Amino acid sequence: MEIVLRLLLFFFLQMGMATPQVSLTKPKEKIFLASPFELNFRAEMPPGYKVHPSTSVLAETPFYLKDIKEERKKEFSNFIFTIMPFEMGKSTFPSVTWIYETPQGKKLQVESPSLTLNILPFVQKTPRDILDIEPPVKFYSPYYLALIILLIILVLFLIARAKIKSKKMSSLQNIESAKTPYQKAIEKIINAKQLWDENRFKEFYTEISDAVREYATEDLNIFAMNMTTQNFLRDLRKKNYPPVQIAQLKEFLEFSDLVKFAKLSPSQEDKERDLEKAKDFVKAWHSMKHPPIASSANINAVSNNRKEER
């Protein structure tokens, strides 16, 4: 009888684990404005499942996501979000979408609960007590005078070197500013390959996604650098850009966010695909904004062909 009860208990436990769940632990410590704190999410799952969060919803909240750490166990994973709040008083941390992937490749979505937090004012450290002024020091040795002169010479040398460096930087900035938005974006995307070769995947995806957003900001008059992905796509729709292109851009930006914030490990195929996608977006937008102008020779040739046909 005892064996039967154990088998039934095991069966019900397995049935309970069939549906993934994500729970959220409220932080015990006080939370202060512009000071990082941690939120602990526990993602339970059956064996063989994979899970990662989609944090795009945080872009429209007063919470800035600094980092995500994962502690993987056998039947669950702990995700520790490091958050920085930028709004005092009662603020609601939103429900986060968690994407589960079964061993068969199917994907499920689970929502973690929202959480109301009380954000306290920023606390400034107490300044040090004022100390007594030391009595004046008298210099009697001529070595002190020589030391002062050497220090003056060193300061003058450093000032001169800083001016020379500033002139060089100004010259480089002038060269950089002379480049078109298209040239800067393509150059930034190509140079990002170095980051991939150094296994800096997060920086790689930050660089190529920023290149796309910067081009849209500078040449399409869409301030994409300060927009969420949804608002960026909305403005492209308003300007009648192709729906297929907008769908591909959405997929590209969401995958970039997973690598940057959820520490998703991209493959070599992902890198080649997204590198080409970033270049294709910029090239397509450039061609639509600046269509090629037919040369006078081509115009004359077309005109002569029409005359001959007549």
Reading the chain (310 residues) residue by residue, the pLDDT tens digits are: 555 445 544 444 444 445 788 999 889 889 998 899 999 999 998 888 889 899 888 888 899 998 999 988 878 889 999 999 988 899 899 999 999 898 898 988 999 999 999 999 976 555 555 555 555 555 456 787 888 999 999 999 999 989 888 877 766 665 556 789 999 999 999 999 999 999 999 999 999 999 999 999 998 888 888 888 899 899 989 888 899 988 999 999 999 999 989 889 999 999 999 999 999 999 999 988 888 765 444 545 545 554 554 4
Token pair, residue 46, equals 């059956």
CA distance 4 to 11: 10
CA distance 56 to 231: 12
Distance of CA 98 to the CA centre of its chain: 18
- Residues pairing with 24 in the sheet: 41
CA distance 41 to 71: 10
What's the topology of domain 17-120? Immunoglobulin-like (2.60.40)
Q: Structure pTM?
A: 0.41
Smallest CA-to-CA distance from 192 within 203, 179, 180 is with: 203
Judging by beta carbons within 10 Å of its beta carbon (0-12, 13-18, 19+), is residue 54 exposed, middle or buried? middle
Residue 84's CB: how many other CB atoms inside 10 A? 16
Cα dihedral 83→89→90→93 (10° resolution): -20
Q: Determine contact, residues 286/184, Cβ cutoff 8 Å.
A: no
Q: Where are the beta strands (DSSP E) in the chain?
A: 21-25, 31-32, 37-44, 50-54, 63-72, 76-85, 89-93, 97-101, 107-111, 115-120
**Helix (H) or strand (E) run with residue 160 in it:** helix 142-177
The domain limits of the chain are 17-120, 181-289
